[in-house]
Amino acid sequence: MNFIDIYFTGKTRPALFYYGWMVVFASFICHMFIFGVPTVMLPLLYGPMSEEFGWSRSDVTILASTKFISGAIAAFFAGQFIQRFGARVTTLITSLVVGLTMICFIFITELWHLAVIGIFLGIGSISLVITVKVIVSRWFHGRIGLALGLALLGTSAAGSILTFVLEPLMIEYGWRTAVALLSTGIWFFALPFFLFIARERPEDINLTTEGIEPNSKTREDNLPPQFLNFSQTVKGKTFIAMGVGVFLIGFVDQGMLQHTVEFIDKDAGLGRELARWAFSTIMLISILGKICFGWIFDKIAIKGVMFCYLTIGLGVVLAFPVGGMETLIIFCIARGISHGGTIVDVPYMCRQAFGPAILPRTVGTMTMILSAGFAAGPYIIGTLYENSGSYDSAFYLCIVLSLIAAGSLFFVRTSYRNWLKTQD
């Protein structure tokens, strides 16, 4: 009998606390190093790349676009892979892919190298995000929004500290070697910790999903057919409406995030040092945003997600007046809080609408759609900038898309959540 049996299942003594929170913590560590670091480091690399090679902003954002395109494709298959082989095996593979790809930054000398690097980063990191979403959603029901918000803090945590780690490394070793050195967090911390702590399902250690009684009629093996048929689910109005909203908000959120440093540095004229601090501040504030929005989602469901999408549009509006410290602080607060709700929205809506039985496939497919938005946003915004010499037209587009994304959720029905209420 190991320490998990003794201290968390209550077999030999009262459990210290619900073990699902340990799974959340392990998922957070993995999300931080395997998805967070590779994602938030990209805006910090565009400037050095452009200076060394003379590449344009749309050129360097190919790295992000190919990352999210390949991630979108991988996401379609990742859910099925997790369903068949489990979260632990998937995490092992994604760790290897992302870690080795970060080491390969050492060899970048041509523009097409960015595309190849981006492809493998996308395959590994997006698959890891789906793994985290699925495993946490299996452990929680009553407080799933909060649990997901905490598990998916990895991007925010990485962004809040990475600028202070990566910049000195780039000064000392250059941007290529700096990225390779960051991969050590995967090899020596994230992967070993996750494999030691995480369990696939509560049943694996004789526990039940948080918020559901042990002998409840709402367990997976007692669900009605409507929550077991994936092919019918993706044809429904709810899935389509959710997909529209998720794609558009992904476009806006990553489009803004990937251009934040360059926008503040050059277009707002505030310099790279202040841009670096602003980016870190946005990611730090997004930690609060993820926790708060997770709690809001639990309280008011889809209306909470709609509110999140509207705040993302507000964050874009507040980019226009940025030109000094006061306006920059207001922009950072709005962007940080609104950014916190993204990524948490997908697993939350999928579980509330479609239930847990086909969760790996619904989360995987919806993450594919989200990643397609992630891929389109940075490149299109970069292209609009190159054509006009300003971000104004891109920002107007993002505001409109945020409103459409929020409006699309009017057509989303939380069928599983509503069915659960009838079982009480």
The domains of the chain are located at 17-210+217-423
Interaxial angle between packed helices 237-262 and 392-408, expressed in degrees from 0 to 180 and rounded to the nearest 10: 150
Helix 392-408 / helix 302-317 crossing angle, nearest 10 deg? 170
Q: Lowest-confidence range among 113-117, 296-300, 381-385?
A: 296-300
| Average pLDDT of span 296-325 | 91
Confidence at residue 1, expressed as pLDDT on a 0 to 100 scale = 43
Task: Report residue 260 as tokens.
Answer: 């934040």
pTM: predicted TM-score of the whole model, two decimal places: 0.78
Q: List phi, psi (to 5°) of 232.
A: -75, -35
Give the CATH fold of the 17-210+217-423 domain: Growth Hormone; Chain: A; (1.20.1250)
Q: How far does the chain reach from its first CA to its final CA, in angstroms? A: 36
Q: Which residue has the higher pLDDT, 140 or 423?
A: 140
60-64, 210-214, 301-305, 395-399: range with highest mean pLDDT: 395-399
Least confident of 62-66, 152-156, 223-227, 414-418: 223-227
Residue 258 is encoded by which pair of tokens? 């990937």
Band of residue 292 on the pLDDT scale cut at 50, 70, 90: confident
% of the chain exceeding 90 in pLDDT: 37
Res. 25: pLDDT tops 50: yes
Instruction: Identify the burial level of 17 via C-beta atoms within 10 angstroms of its C-beta, where 0-12 means exposed, 13-18 middle and 19 or more buried.
Output: exposed
pLDDT of residue 219: 55
